Amino acid sequence: MNEYLLKQPLRYWWLTALLITINCGLFAWQVLSGVSATDPSVSDLIKWGADFAPLTLTSENWRLLSSMFLHIGFVHLLLNMWALYLFGMYAEFYYGRFWYVVIYLLAGIAGNLASNYTGLHQALQFSNTAILQASSMGNSLVPSVSAGASGAIMGLGGALLVAALWPKKDLEPKYLLNKNALIMLALLNLGLGLFVSGINSIAHLGGFAGGLILALGYRFSLHFSGFSKYSLQLALIAASIATLLYVDYWLIEHAKQLLHFWSIYLLQFKSS
């Protein structure tokens, strides 16, 4: 996307390196604790903080954040860390470390909320069209376990797309992003989620949209200066957090309709 930036020393992208180290360190800790490096069990993933709607939307909302640092096997980790290296290095340069963290975390949470919305919607549809028996409800009422930094990374991708399409006016030509390469890379990541089984495409789309919206707001704020610019940026962050909190609250309220069935499932799961 930009060969000049790829050659920059570590001090220019140390935050990205730190995030990669945290993700890899947590994965190593899991493996040393006995979790499979290639095919971790559902129970292990849940134990380590994966996003699982029956828990996330009832009593353990922190999973929206913890699941962003958990990966389902070595290949999943490797692919995500390679994408984080590419997108993260550029995002750290173009947006600075503060906005990098804002986009990464909020886009990651947005992706997880989007994933939970889809799972909850499907479960509610099933519950409204079937006569349910606790012994035969199967997996239709229970959304799948989800984990990974994909939503957050795609958020960085969305932000970089904004940086490529509307670069800062004072940016030197050597720092400009290759728009076509970036668009192809983003489409490839989104496409993999749609056509390859086991990839949470909704989290990808939710994270990408979250990063895109945040970056557009940030780019708009650059038309101003001083107090006005920082006030707009603060308002953007506050509005984004408020929106995510409202969506989270909405999901939790609607999840109460499935609380009885999820409680039965969790009891069966813990006893198995």
Report whether 71 contacts 79 (CB < 8 A): no
> What are 246-254's contacts with CB under 8 Å, separation 24+?
247/113, 247/117, 248/61, 248/64, 248/113, 251/57, 251/113, 251/116, 251/117, 251/120, 252/57, 252/58, 252/61, 254/120, 254/124
What pLDDT was estimated at residue 140?
59
What's the pLDDT at 201? 87
Structure confidence at residue 134 (pLDDT): 45
Eight-state DSSP code of residue 175: G
d(C-alpha 140, C-alpha 122), whole Å: 8
Helix (H, G, I), strand (E, B) or coil at 181: helix
Chain-centroid distance of CA 211 in Å reads 10
Which domains does the chain possess?
3-271 (1.20.1540.10)
User: In the chain, which residues have pLDDT < 50?
Assistant: 131-137
Whole-model pTM above 0.95?
A: no
pLDDT at position 171 is 73
